[in-house]
Structure 1
């Protein structure tokens, strides 16, 4: 039976293993879902209410709950641990949250450490082999994290550790081969594959380090990777593709080893994380920040200062007829320290949050850069992404609290901002932050650059005087490419292209260029004074922060859509059930009118803000106005505006309009029906009254006639004349009030 399971595992098929474990009452779903559940929660804290100190304990408890069932059959525990390992690897293929994967593997190792002694000798040896294989996978995850974060030394060390752990797994598996030949064969196959790949990648990283430091050739390193790639031990197409990607990336560097290589001598990098504050007007947000912000704690750190200005230069003093301007408030926070997985400092960032009267708020981190290589700049730019590897991010002086990514800190800051705004709110409707994990922008301003002949740090420098010279150097493709969500090979940036449809050349003057991608802006201006670039950097930040504004508008429109959908359901129910009084329908109509008013106000506000953003009067300089226009065009601003307006029209006309028409028609029908019922009731009352009057009148007529006839002839004549007169008048009055068709 184990042969069938192992053969299926070799083909990537997990069902036979799950079926075998399930036949022995093991709840395989809980084991397979374990790394997925761990990845679905905050990567900093364990899930609340689990009663465990950390995720490793949670995983250990989950595995232990199935341990006794599996240990009742020979080979059960090794197969159970293999299922956990494969589940972790499956999640690793699709998730960039590495810590939950580590914690799941650590939980399995903890189970083996605490309860492995209860297994028989052969099961214990096979289980130890699987745990060693887990250690190897954990080291590979560390290696990927180091590659993404640009830490070459930890990358080399982690791959060497992965190879050593795989070697140990193979040795243990050989000891258990007599009792568990099939499981041992699978473990040995996996271990040998990892060892060959791990050693090859470790040597490649070592060669890359020497190449970047001293310019040593990469030919032999690439040949070693190719040898491993064609080795019989590499059976997995995944490992083959990984080795091939490393080899081609290194060869692309080797091909340009003697070219001029870029160095950023002086510059500045800015990370922008836009967000929107819903349910609170932007001007009110700015006022609350100015009034209360100095006493806030954001991200656990005390606010250093609050400035009731964004510190913009005079070019932003526009001439709008309604005196609208781009301005707001600025909250300054302590500096942010970033450290690698090995504890080495990766840099310090100045942190602040900018609040705009237009609603395009954003978290902003900045740092000066000096003497930076393309590889180092690539790592700095990747740092903005939510997919960036695990590092340690903390406020200086507040090291007790840390985040694993810069994007995670930015998200927490926006949530804390809205919590503080809610505390100062005078209305029960609390502000809500709307950050997006994938919403960020990186701005790199290059003020001085040089080139070296080859990548060696010690090579002589040659000053770069124009943007054209800068962008022709090897490594400049880092500036002209967007931040990728995933890094798949060593020095992957060496294969990026300089020109593609993803790059927009916004504007340029003598010796200067401004290039924009979907999430980066590069200002290549060697030889330009830094202060002359301030306006362009501000323009880049302004346009990047509009992503938060659009996100807020879109979510506001979603709220309108949901309310309109609720109205549609209620209106359809009224029409379907033929129920509801005219008064109830009038109340529903008032609610619909109120929603239409809110939607119209929202639409007017959006159009007004978009008009100001597009208007040349936003700034005082026509040149800067043209730059803003070009940057907006390069950022798909027009398409986003068109899409938003179409959505507004869809909600206002197709959704809300149809509901109002249905309700109006139903309301008219109900009012007509109720009016008819009122007239019928009124006519019935009138007929009863007239019948009573008629009866009384007839009795009176009879009395008159009786009195006349019994008194005298003359009295009888007068009685007949009076009765005749009364009848004639009754006919005339009745004819006047008789109902007609019109």
Structure 2
């Protein structure tokens, strides 16, 4: 701020620059905390340097106006945060704050003189645009709250938002207009479904699954280590209250004797319950938390919550909270956690908590000898933020005419066909998106044409997308629902296994690139036979490692797709259908094609070139030996020739010497010519090899 001291409107211009930078960053980011912290830091800086600003006059008015805009932008960000958190009341309050601060900015800047006209125009233009947009958003948010509670008509609200949209179009660009339009379209769709049957989940459960893989430790060993040591581990600041020595699966997972050494078994680390709350101390629901360590390698963190009388809009909010793009909540364990400042640990998102649990588990399985966390490239667990599933299991459901409030009389759903036509079922047929455009957007989701679904003999209905799965078992007992649930959970948790395999294959490709670079260097400097031999040995060892990985991959994928993995033929058939739905066989085929290309086209090709060059060097070495032997023979022959000339023809000593020397010179010259010719042939073959490679 001292750099702009004394410049007319200097502080206001500096703050407008901060406003623009944060606004632009917000366009491409769903991590809101750093944006709000930047705005708060700018305001704090102004407060701490208040002495640099004249208390009264245009400078003070301009600065105050921009500070109001910073507050408005912070409230706008909070509005989106509340929307992707599934908190409609907080969204309406934040949108109202954004409008109030924008209007306060206009009031503050209006009296300034002509000298500040450019700042005034900039502030008024921004404030009026945002005021219109967030007036519509606040109205839509409050309207939705009332609609879900009462089911009253939305016509008046839609018309009011249409008028605001027209007013916004006169002063704002398409970006803001499209936000208002999105709100209106969602309300129009809801109004069109006002007399439709709306779904309510009366009994069921939702399971958030975060798959991961381990590296540097076999899956069986990871499960064994966890059984014996996990009770003493600190995972995300808590110690597991229980460690189960098995996964407590039903008997269908008891494989035959030929698979007794490797089957779906393992260890379950039970964690304290997780409280899902708001940033103001609200408590919404509890999650049962745990970590599954599987002997097959399909490890995953799981959080489970019971569903009782859950409406479609609440189901949407709960499902979206699994995503890393969800808004900031306040998640904490129900028991005390360990932290450096003796404050209870809390996480803004479920995905953040899952990531910490996975990372800490990796550190416990293979402790880092250098202390602290490992670099990313050396970690022992493989996962990523977008790798998650939401599994919804529905045991009982009902429908109401209009929004499914508990005050309305509900009709029991007895067939999946009834459920397929209800408002809200589209949430079960579509993946969780990475962004949300408006609060009621979910009602506009359509039924995908390529929907992956499976219907069981008793009416069981399974639907799967890229990050969701749904099991509907209406009228079936809980133990049957548990059997189907274990099959679905098993299949969707396999994505962690694929993630680990993809990471391993990527490492082999990186190693292949390193070999290619080394081979190029050796070619340029005309490597020695020893250097070529060393590189060839390293590449052969890498190829053996790749072959070992391939064998393990064949064995594991064969086991996963084997009918003998489960004891029941009916369950085996259902498992095969689920694997087919999930794209398991397509993914496996893709892996084997990648391995084939790496092994034969890249590693194999380079190894063949190395072998060819080694053969050429060996041939040249043998040719040199032959030349030396011939030279010796020639020397002996020349010595004999001299003796013949002296005795047979009676020549004197000096003429004989000169004749012998001439013969020697001719022989040496011929040897050099032959040696040069061989070198030229080798060089030509190398050049052709490089051209073929290019």
**TM bin (shorter chain):** 0.7 to 0.9
Distance 1:177 1:340, change over 3 A: farther
CA RMSD of aligned residues (A): 2.4
Could you tell me which of 148, 153, 164 is aligned with 1:217? 153
Separation in 2, partners of 1:358, 1:132: 57
Spell out, residue by residue over 1:658-704, the C-alpha distance to the aligned partner (whole angstroms, 9 max, x if none). 1100110111122233344455567778999x89x99xxx9xxx9xx
Distance 1:234 1:371, change over 3 A: farther
Distance 1:684 1:101, change over 3 A: same
Deviation at 1:556, TM superposition (A): 0.5
Separation in 1, partners of 2:200, 2:465: 21
User: Structure 1: where are the runs of 5+ without partners?
Assistant: 1-66, 703-742
Structure 1 or 2, whichever has the larger Rg, is 1
Spell out, residue by residue over 1:632-664, the C-alpha distance to the aligned partner (whole angstroms, 9 max, x if none). 222222221222111111110111011100110
Contact 2:72 2:97 in 1 (8 A): yes
Separation in 2, partners of 1:675, 1:565: 33
Q: Which gives a bigger RCO, structure 1 or 2 (Cα 8 Å, sep 6+)?
A: 2
Separation in 2, partners of 1:320, 1:190: 72
Q: Is 1:198 the counterpart of 2:146 in the alignment?
A: no
Give the TM-score, by structure 2 length: 0.86
Contact 1:116 1:124 in 2 (8 A): no
Give the TM-score, by structure 1 length: 0.81
Aligned to 1:611: 558
Aligned to 2:509: 561
Separation in 2, partners of 1:413, 1:649: 35
Alignment of 1:307-318 (within 5 A): 307-318=244-255
Deviation at 1:576, TM superposition (A): 2.9
Contact 1:279 1:430 in 2 (8 A): no
Aligned to 1:358: 296
Separation in 2, partners of 1:181, 1:434: 56
Alignment of 1:624-663 (within 5 A): 624-663=571-610
Aligned to 1:33: none
Spell out, residue by residue over 1:216-268, the C-alpha distance to the aligned partner (whole angstroms, 9 max, x if none). 22111111111110115641322211111111111111112122221111101
Aligned-partner SS, 1:362: strand
Spell out, residue by residue over 1:39-90, the C-alpha distance to the aligned partner (whole angstroms, 9 max, x if none). xxxxxxxxxxxxxxxxxxxxxxxxxxxx222334222322221111111111
Q: Is 1:671 the counterpart of 2:618 in the alignment?
A: yes
Separation in 1, partners of 2:600, 2:106: 68
Contact 1:214 1:457 in 2 (8 A): no
Could you tell me which of 73, 77, 86 is aligned with 2:20? 86
Q: Is 1:102 the counterpart of 2:36 in the alignment?
A: yes
Aligned to 2:683: none
How many residues are aligned here? 626
Q: Is 1:276 the counterpart of 2:213 in the alignment?
A: yes
Could you tell me which of 539, 557, 564 is aligned with 1:592? 539
Q: Is 1:164 the counterpart of 2:82 in the alignment?
A: no
Aligned to 1:119: 53
Spell out, residue by residue over 1:343-394, the C-alpha distance to the aligned partner (whole angstroms, 9 max, x if none). 2112211111111122111111111111101011101110111101111111
Aligned to 1:148: 84
Contact 2:259 2:565 in 1 (8 A): no
Alignment of 1:74-473 (within 5 A): 74-120=8-54, 121-231=57-167, 234-319=171-256, 321-323=258-260, 324-398=262-336, 400-423=344-367, 432-455=380-403, 456-473=405-422
Alignment of 1:48-59 (within 5 A): none
Deviation at 1:123, TM superposition (A): 2.3
User: Structure 2: where are the runs of 5+ without partners?
Assistant: 338-343, 648-694
Distance 1:489 1:432, change over 3 A: same
Separation in 1, partners of 2:314, 2:207: 15
Aligned-partner SS, 1:342: coil
Contact 1:234 1:240 in 2 (8 A): no
Separation in 2, partners of 1:81, 1:561: 49
Deviation at 1:424, TM superposition (A): 9.2
Aligned to 2:341: none
Distance 1:535 1:686, change over 3 A: farther
Separation in 1, partners of 2:585, 2:24: 41
Contact 1:507 1:627 in 2 (8 A): no
Separation in 2, partners of 1:293, 1:407: 22
Spell out, residue by residue over 1:458-501, the C-alpha distance to the aligned partner (whole angstroms, 9 max, x if none). 1112211122212222222222221111111122111112x213
